[in-house]
């Protein structure tokens, strides 16, 4: 499903993020990506989403070599990927419902089916009662849950989660982890980036740790 071969990422000769990463993540796998802030977790997710490019090396996602994708092909790859950003990236002039429904509009899902999907995921993150509100009227934790709902509503094959529980209390964190487990059980491949070791201290999932530009498992 996802493969890195000898991948380097350098912002400058002194700022090397990846130093020859080799990694394979199987279809349907749920992995945790961890390490301190600034070590490269977000960079890896941005590269997988084609928001950045590696300096060298090759990456395959769902059988496609990212280096060979044209600009016109990138949106088709992104339709397979749900991304939960640290900074939410919600549209302030759209309601919560509309923010979540946007990705379903892009893929042309019928209105009735789209409404059912949106209601279902908003209920799953505890925000069904606020679907008519606008993002700026919500707390940071509530905005984070909207971002999670938006990322998963189209049932993507791959979910890239960048510190998705960073603004949530314990109860909401547990709810999000349950939602992730449910999505994984349906077949989604999940890369969950976090610095909070409590989330995986008792897990049977694979934990990928950044260290000196490499990944340890």
The per-residue pLDDT string of the chain (217 residues; one tens digit each, 9 = 90 and over) reads 999 999 999 999 999 999 999 999 999 999 999 998 888 999 999 999 999 999 999 999 999 999 999 999 999 899 899 999 878 889 999 999 999 999 898 888 899 999 999 999 999 888 999 999 999 999 988 998 999 999 999 999 999 999 998 878 888 888 889 889 988 999 999 999 999 999 999 899 999 999 889 998 8
Would you state the pLDDT for residue 58?
98
Cα 134–chain centre separation: 23
> In this structure, is residue 177 part of a structural domain?
no
Q: Is the residue at 210 inside a domain?
A: no
Host domain of residue 121: 91-154
pTM exceeds 0.85, yes or no: yes
* Residue 97 falls inside a structural domain: yes
Residue 171 domain flag? no
Give the count of domains, the chain.
Answer: 1
The number of beta carbons lying within 10 Å of the beta carbon of residue 132 is 9
C-alpha distances in Å from residue 89, one per residue of 71, 74, 116, 188, 191: 22, 19, 23, 22, 19
Q: How far is CA 120 from the centre of its chain?
A: 19
- The pLDDT value recorded for residue 85 is 84
* Residue 50 forms part of a structural domain: no
Phi-psi region of 78 (alpha: psi -120 to 50; beta: other; left: phi over 0): alpha
Instruction: Examine residue 186 and state whether it is found in any structural domain, yes or no.
Output: no
Rounded distance between C-alpha atoms, residue 126 and residue 197, angstroms: 25
pLDDT, residue 87, reads: 81
Determine contact, residues 192/32, Cβ cutoff 8 Å: yes
Residue 141 lies in a domain: yes
Tokens of 106: 């892009």
The verdict on residue 110 lying in a domain is yes
């Amino acid at each position: 499903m996802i493969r890195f071969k000898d991948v380097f990422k350098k912002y400058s000769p002194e700022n090397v993020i990846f130093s020859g990463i080799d990694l394979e993540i199987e279809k349907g796998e749920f992995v945790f990506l961890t390490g301190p802030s600034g070590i490269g977790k977000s960079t890896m997710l941005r590269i997988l989403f084609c928001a950045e490019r590696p300096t060298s090396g090759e990456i395959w996602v769902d059988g496609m070599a990212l280096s060979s994708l044209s600009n016109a092909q990138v949106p088709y790859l992104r339709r397979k990927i749900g991304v939960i950003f640290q900074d939410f990236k919600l549209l302030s002039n759209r309601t919560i419902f509309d923010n979540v429904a946007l990705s379903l509009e892009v893929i042309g899902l019928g209105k009735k089916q789209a409404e059912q999907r949106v209601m279902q995921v908003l209920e799953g993150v505890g925000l069904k009662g606020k679907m008519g509100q606008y993002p700026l009227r919500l707390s940071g934790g509530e905005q984070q849950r909207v971002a999670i709902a938006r990322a998963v509503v189209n049932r993507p094959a791959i979910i890239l989660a960048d510190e998705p529980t960073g603004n949530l209390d314990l109860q909401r964190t547990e709810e999000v982890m349950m939602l992730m487990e449910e999505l994984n059980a349906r077949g989604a491949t999940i890369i969950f980036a976090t610095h909070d070791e409590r989330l995986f201290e008792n897990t049977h999932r694979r934990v990928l740790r950044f260290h000196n530009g490499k990944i340890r498992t």
